[in-house]
Structure 1
Amino acid sequence: MQGKDEKFLLLPYNFPWKIYELEPPWYSAMAQGKALPLLIYAYQLTGSEKYKETANGILNSFFIDVTQGGITYKTSNSGWWYELYAKNDSKKPKVLNGMLWTLVALDEYYRSTNDSKAKFLFDQGITSLKKNLHLFDADGFSYYDILKTQNKFEYHVIHIDLLNKLYNVTGEDLFKSYADKWSSHNLTQVVRQAPANIHLDSNFVPFVDYGIISGINIGIQRNPVTVDHIANDYYGKFLLHKDNFSKRAFLNNVDWLVDNAIEIRVNNSVIPSNMYQNLDQKS
């Protein structure tokens, strides 16, 4: 049975992604992770419990294995991998940038809340990253995923930047070693990612026009990760200017995350009992 704290919330993707054989709905650890600190910042701005409650439900989702409809590949002694493109019957790509973004977000969330579940999840992820990082090394360059998909310039740079951030947090020399190794690669001939076709609606919440991908007309869709990014941009502008427009646009995007998170049920308790606690904001 689920305990009183075991509400599990996921942000669904409602379009197919044939590159990894995904049919809707599917989920993303990166979308879940990057939403966490944004929800806490919204709670700090407004005092509204809905943001804190949604954050807790999204954090709980990291305890659900992909085989149970979640976003995590669990092992007993090699850590947990948080999947960017998660569904039980997918290709299991283990996308590196998604894992790195998720770990950085979990650490940011933990520093804002002191939530022991976030610390546990971060530590499990760091263990998995250390075990798997060598699999992404393309002789001095980085692969996009564990399937050895050719990387783009932007994602390679993200890998370096986020590994350096994780090195600063953990002191793990392995992360610094790969960041330095990949930084030495000549990037002048590396293919760059085409810019996303992103538009904002009247509430300044983004949608993406994907057009046709892998022969499928995906068209205009909401992408929770894109909402995370836009919310983060507006939050940064609000911190800089303290203006009502940026605050409202930020909250509109976070409200979209709250409104579109769906609850799923699991058959057994997946959160260790010693991790139950209320989110305790740092003063």
Structure 2
Amino acid sequence: MRSRCALLTLALAPTLTLTLALAAGVGVSPTATAQPAPAQRIPEQRIVTDQSTVFSALSAGEPRVSGAASLARVGLLPGSTGPALAAALTAAATITDAQAPATSGWARITGTSLPAFRTGSDTLRRVGPEQRPYARAGLAPLTPDRPHDDAGVLVYERGGQTHDHPVLQARHIPMWTASYRNGGGREYLDKAIAHGERLLTTGEHTRSALYFPYHFDFALHGDDAHPMHAPWYSAMAQGQALSAFVALYETTGQPRWREAADETFASFLRPRAEGRPWTVDVDDKGLLWFEEYAGPNPDRAFNGHMFALFGVYDYWWLTGDPQARQVVLGGLEATRVRVRDIRVPGGTSRYCLTHRVSDDNYHRVHIGQLFTLHTLTGSTDFARLGDAFIDDAPRDRQGGSGMIAAGRVEAVTVDEQGQPASTRIADVAAAQAVEFGARTLLPGRSGVWLRVDSGTLAGTWVREQPDHAWLQGARDAVTFGLPRAGMLGAGTQTGYAADTAGHWTAQSSVLIGQATPVHLAGRFSREGRTYFTVADGPLAGLAIDAADVKVE
């Protein structure tokens, strides 16, 4: 259910391209068929290898790279090329950092009034341009389908009036500058500059920093009991504007954009101050939090904190500023600690810490952000958190064509509030092709549930289970910005090739004499099972069952 939690980010999430590239084409459901499709024989090729030879390059620090074209064909590395994949794998094997890992403890930034805050032991990776938070390939829409004013600048409509909206205006700038660098016309750069100019015009120079106010009232979570009165401020707006100015400076080389970035970063060094603009707070546990809704009762929105962190990371990436590095490390430590309260094991993650509401769309955003943090730091625990969030609740909630196998099936009806109302055990005489209208969680029931819209069980919900009830094609697909280390078990291992809709097209078997290291390029679910895509070795470009690989 879509909540009214996040005015700032609701417009952002659907189009943002994170380092975690959501797999292109994977998850598209095929056209429904009237009868179950006959089983098709999948071509099989049996390969026997001497893994000591196959993986000798890995032990030498030069990962064996093969099958990049297969990865792109499968759809789990959209647009990948051999050299790009080789660079990513090299980064995975030997993560380098312009600066040494932080020492876990506390940091105080001298020359500022920001209180001391906790830092962890993360390493900040100066990733390649294609791995940065807002990297994109190809061209973005030049004119998004949103309201804009006479100058062509995007605006926000509310109550019959239009307003400047700093996140809405800032978030498109890195997309347009990237499109310009990717071969788009001058109009892309002009559009980015026009939006950057609007940010400079509407920004406030105060506290020796540059802030971007919201000049309209807003009821947080759609609840008048939690009002944000104009002017109000947001760390997410500060972070998005910071990334925007960095992108404009990188693209144009004009000093004014670097100056704007410097002034915006300064806002991250200004502590909470009642009656004055603020967006950064050190809480009673010493955690540095970037507040999306800065007010008397901070909301502690998780996604806004991390989008702000991405902005400071971009600034550090550009400048190497040691203060920015400390701020990023502080934000990372706050993420590590507070994610325990954001995560809901077996359920949809919470949007914020204060009001503890949940939202399906932002659960999806959280997943992307956690994998992005893995790319930026190389810390495997962020990737494992991304895995856990996907396992807790589906990233993809849409339905599509699927199958219900013959046998006994638990069928559940729900009431108007979405609560389970009745349960019966149905006998399905023969396997049937059906249309599922949705894929989600049911209150009080474990697992993922599918709403049946056709067939003998239409109007009920059935649990998604391998070999019992499943959607066709792939779901919950993500591509890792930084390939992950895995270990294949000894024995015969089988990998599967898939088309862009996630249907198997071929399989290969490999006899492995001992546990063997590999890199993993992505993950997805298919027919209720989780698969990882192998990036190198004899199964390169193929998907393997998660049960057959140990993931770091």
- Shorter-chain TM-score bucket reads 0.5 to 0.7
Aligned to 2:313: 107
2:79 matches 1:79: no
2:440 match: secondary structure? coil
1:61 match: secondary structure? helix
Measured after TM superposition, the shift of residue 2 of structure 1 is 8.7
How far apart, CA to CA, are the structure 2 residues paired with 1:142 and 1:148?
13
Query: Is the CA contact 1:136–1:142 (under 8 Å) kept in the aligned structure 2?
Result: yes
Query: Is the CA contact 2:265–2:315 (under 8 Å) kept in the aligned structure 1?
Result: no
Query: Is the CA contact 2:246–2:314 (under 8 Å) kept in the aligned structure 1?
Result: no
1:73 match: secondary structure? strand
One-letter amino acid of the structure 2 residue matched with residue 17 of structure 1: F
Aligned to 1:209: none
Query: Is the CA contact 1:161–1:179 (under 8 Å) kept in the aligned structure 2?
Result: yes
How far apart, CA to CA, are the structure 1 residues paired with 2:227 and 2:243?
30
Aligned to 2:420: none
Aligned to 1:46: 252
Measured after TM superposition, the shift of residue 7 of structure 1 is 2.4
**Comparing 32-41 with 170-179, which one deviates more in the overlay?**
170-179
Query: Is the CA contact 1:78–1:127 (under 8 Å) kept in the aligned structure 2?
Result: no
How far apart, CA to CA, are the structure 1 residues paired with 2:256 and 2:381?
39
**Residue from 176, 180, 185 that aligns with 2:383:** 176
1:81 match: secondary structure? strand
> What whole-Å deviation, never above 9, does each CA across 1:153-176 have from its counterpart, x for those lacking one?
321111001101102222334422
How far apart, CA to CA, are the structure 2 residues paired with 1:75 and 1:181?
27
> What whole-Å deviation, never above 9, does each CA across 1:58-85 have from its counterpart, x for those lacking one?
1010112233531011148633000111
**Comparing 135-144 with 64-73, which one deviates more in the overlay?**
64-73
The 5 A counterparts of 1:202-217 are none
How far apart, CA to CA, are the structure 2 residues paired with 1:130 and 1:76?
16
1:9 match: secondary structure? strand
Measured after TM superposition, the shift of residue 183 of structure 1 is 0.5
Measured after TM superposition, the shift of residue 51 of structure 1 is 1.2
Larger Rg: 2
Aligned-residue RMSD, C-alpha: 2.5
**Residue from 415, 429, 440 that aligns with 1:189:** 440
1:35 match: secondary structure? helix
Structure with greater proportional strand content:
2
Measured after TM superposition, the shift of residue 148 of structure 1 is 4.5
Aligned to 1:62: 268
Aligned to 1:127: 333
One-letter amino acid of the structure 2 residue matched with residue 106 of structure 1: V
How far apart, CA to CA, are the structure 2 residues paired with 1:132 and 1:25?
28
Query: Is the CA contact 1:142–1:151 (under 8 Å) kept in the aligned structure 2?
Result: yes
Aligned to 1:24: 230
How far apart, CA to CA, are the structure 2 residues paired with 1:2 and 1:81?
16
State the identity %.
25
**Residue from 207, 213, 221 that aligns with 1:12:** 213
Measured after TM superposition, the shift of residue 35 of structure 1 is 1.4
One-letter amino acid of the structure 2 residue matched with residue 123 of structure 1: L
Measured after TM superposition, the shift of residue 57 of structure 1 is 1.0
How far apart, CA to CA, are the structure 1 residues paired with 2:112 and 2:336?
32
Query: Is the CA contact 1:130–1:174 (under 8 Å) kept in the aligned structure 2?
Result: no
Aligned to 2:360: 153
How far apart, CA to CA, are the structure 2 residues paired with 1:153 and 1:17?
21
Query: Is the CA contact 2:213–2:232 (under 8 Å) kept in the aligned structure 1?
Result: yes
Structure with greater proportional helix content:
1
Count of residues paired in the alignment:
187
> What whole-Å deviation, never above 9, does each CA across 1:190-245 have from its counterpart, x for those lacking one?
7xxxxxxxxxxxxxxxxxxxxxxxxxxxxxxxxxxxxxxxxxxxxxxxxxxxxxxx
Measured after TM superposition, the shift of residue 109 of structure 1 is 2.2
How far apart, CA to CA, are the structure 2 residues paired with 1:178 and 1:45?
34
Residue 116 and residue 98 in structure 1: after superposition, are their counterparts in 2 closer, same or farther (change >3 A)? same
Residue 42 and residue 154 in structure 1: after superposition, are their counterparts in 2 closer, same or farther (change >3 A)? same
Query: Is the CA contact 1:37–1:112 (under 8 Å) kept in the aligned structure 2?
Result: no
How far apart, CA to CA, are the structure 2 residues paired with 1:174 and 1:102?
20
Residue 2 and residue 50 in structure 1: after superposition, are their counterparts in 2 closer, same or farther (change >3 A)? farther
One-letter amino acid of the structure 2 residue matched with residue 144 of structure 1: Y
2:273 match: secondary structure? helix
Aligned to 1:164: 371
How far apart, CA to CA, are the structure 1 residues paired with 2:266 and 2:215?
21
How far apart, CA to CA, are the structure 1 residues paired with 2:112 and 2:292?
25
1:147 match: secondary structure? coil
TM-score (norm 1): 0.60
The 5 A counterparts of 1:259-274 are none
How far apart, CA to CA, are the structure 2 residues paired with 1:77 and 1:161?
27
Aligned to 2:55: none
**Residue from 350, 370, 384 that aligns with 1:143:** 350
One-letter amino acid of the structure 2 residue matched with residue 86 of structure 1: A
How far apart, CA to CA, are the structure 2 residues paired with 1:150 and 1:38?
30
How far apart, CA to CA, are the structure 2 residues paired with 1:86 and 1:133?
20
One-letter amino acid of the structure 2 residue matched with residue 109 of structure 1: Y
How far apart, CA to CA, are the structure 1 residues paired with 2:386 and 2:355?
18
Query: Is the CA contact 1:103–1:122 (under 8 Å) kept in the aligned structure 2?
Result: yes
1:108 match: secondary structure? helix
How far apart, CA to CA, are the structure 2 residues paired with 1:107 and 1:122?
6
How far apart, CA to CA, are the structure 1 residues paired with 2:333 and 2:254?
35
Which segments of structure 1 move beyond 6 Å, counting only runs of 4 or more? Answer: none
How far apart, CA to CA, are the structure 2 residues paired with 1:150 and 1:2?
35
Structure 1 unaligned regions, length at least 5? 191-283
Measured after TM superposition, the shift of residue 49 of structure 1 is 2.2
How far apart, CA to CA, are the structure 2 residues paired with 1:47 and 1:173?
35
TM-score (norm 2): 0.32
Select the structure with the greater relative contact order (CA < 8 A; seq sep ≥ 6): 1
